[in-house]
Amino acid sequence: EGLDTECTPTELIQQCSPRHKLQRLNTKDKENDYGHFVLARRPRRKKEISWDQLPDELLLKIFFYLPLQDLLGISRVCKRWHRLRFDESLWHSVDLEGMTQADAALRHVLKTKVTRLRCPRSYVEELRLAGTPLQMAELDLSSSIIPTSVLESIICGCRQLRCLSLEGLQLSDLIISVAQNTHLLQLNLSGCSGFSDAALTDMLQSCSLEQLNLSWCEFSSSHIRGVTENLSSAVTHLNLSGYRETLTLEVKMLVDRCPHIQTLDLDSTLLMADSFPVLAQLKHLQHLSLSRCYHIHVAALDLGTTIPSLCLLDVFGLVPNGHLPVLKKDLPRICINSKPFSTIARPT
């Protein structure tokens, strides 16, 4: 029989058949609509680069921006990072200022080839250095709490110091005898104690200092005599503030020995106006501090003609505020009371 006579359930077949696809209407123009054929490809997924594939130079540049604590911790990642952590480029300058427990950090830092270390106002309880030679050129331990024995082990390991600041620390003759650092240029011992005049003399004879700060040290007359008789003639900045004995003879010896002084701080000393003609022999003197030198009368401060090279004069506590305008008028070329704090041999 023909198909026309076949009993086929047409309605059932239509219900089970898939629906006809409808053409999607797109209002946007396509390049294909204008007869152009465009082959579109899916973008390839970018390959992830492993840290292991980065060269050492790139890793070091990344490590350079890490904080100190993170830099000390990367050695636990792998042997390669442990090796790179001690690279010289990462340890030129380290700042540990104000650390309450600086023992571990300082121990790690001193194992590197650090050349500039700032560790002021820090607390160091115990540190053992097995005769390790250090390459530091600049060291600042000012106002830190550190045992004398630890300080001795650090200083004795240095041979290349150029700038050293130990302000406010308890020292010893072994610490002050930094004779092995023959290139030392700046030394700040402000407020220090515990060393003899013999150790100070030995140090001054061995180093050609340019800046020396001995303000408010526990000094005797023999200490000051050792300074004036052995200080390098290359000194340009000197601070002897707080010495409470007569300085007339010492100033004369100092001027004869160190003719290149540019900045001289004699704050709170017993200096008298009789020493002004002697100070006038310093042809390069630019900054003179006479603050709280109560043995000097205000009328004797006409230093504009006495010291022609003078540019800065500090007289805090010596000249009453009401008389300052008169003094500034009498000394128009000299800047009065512009430096309330001494920066001699202090780290910047």
The pLDDT, as a whole number, for residue 33 is: 55
| 112 — pLDDT class (breaks 50, 70, 90) | confident
**Bridge partners of residue 312, in order along the sequence:** 287, 335
Q: What is the DSSP letter of 309?
A: T
**CA gyration radius, the chain:** 37
So what's the pLDDT on residue 307? 95
Q: How high is the pLDDT of residue 230?
A: 95
Least confident of 38-47, 172-181, 252-261: 38-47
The answer on pLDDT for 262 being more than 50 is yes
Give the C-alpha separation, 205 to 229, whole Å. 9
Q: How confident is the model at residue 6 (pLDDT cuts 50, 70, 90)?
A: low
pLDDT at 35: 59
Domain locations in the chain as residue ranges = 55-90, 99-336
Digit-coded pLDDT (tens) for 59-91: 899 888 888 778 878 878 888 888 888 888 888
Give the CATH class of 99-336: alpha beta
pLDDT for 48 equals 73
Whether the pLDDT of residue 32 is over 70: the answer is no
Q: Does 24 score more than 80 pLDDT? A: no
Element (H, E) at 11: helix 10-16
Percent of the chain with pLDDT strictly greater than 90: 55
Cβ–Cβ under 8 Å, residues 292 and 318: yes
Q: Which residues pair with 325 in a beta bridge?
A: none
Tokens of 66: 């890490």
185 Cβ neighbours under 8 A, 6+ residues apart? 162, 163, 208, 209, 210, 211
Q: 55-90 in CATH: which number?
A: 1.20.1280.50
Q: Average pLDDT for residues 150-178, to the nearest whole number?
A: 91
Confidence bin at 12 (pLDDT 50/70/90): low
Q: How confident is the model at residue 264 (pLDDT cuts 50, 70, 90)?
A: very high
- pLDDT, one tens digit per residue, over 183-234 is 999 999 999 999 999 999 999 999 999 999 999 998 899 999 999 999 999 9
Tokens of 129: 């250095």
* Two structure tokens written together for 337: 């009371």
Model pLDDT, residue 1: 46
Question: Confidence band (pLDDT; 50, 70, 90) for 132?
Answer: confident
Interior/surface letters 149-164, b for 16+ CB within 10 angstroms, e for the rest: ebbbbbbbbbebbbbb
Q: Pick from 12-21, 26-35, 46-55, 136-145 the range whose average pLDDT is largest.
A: 136-145
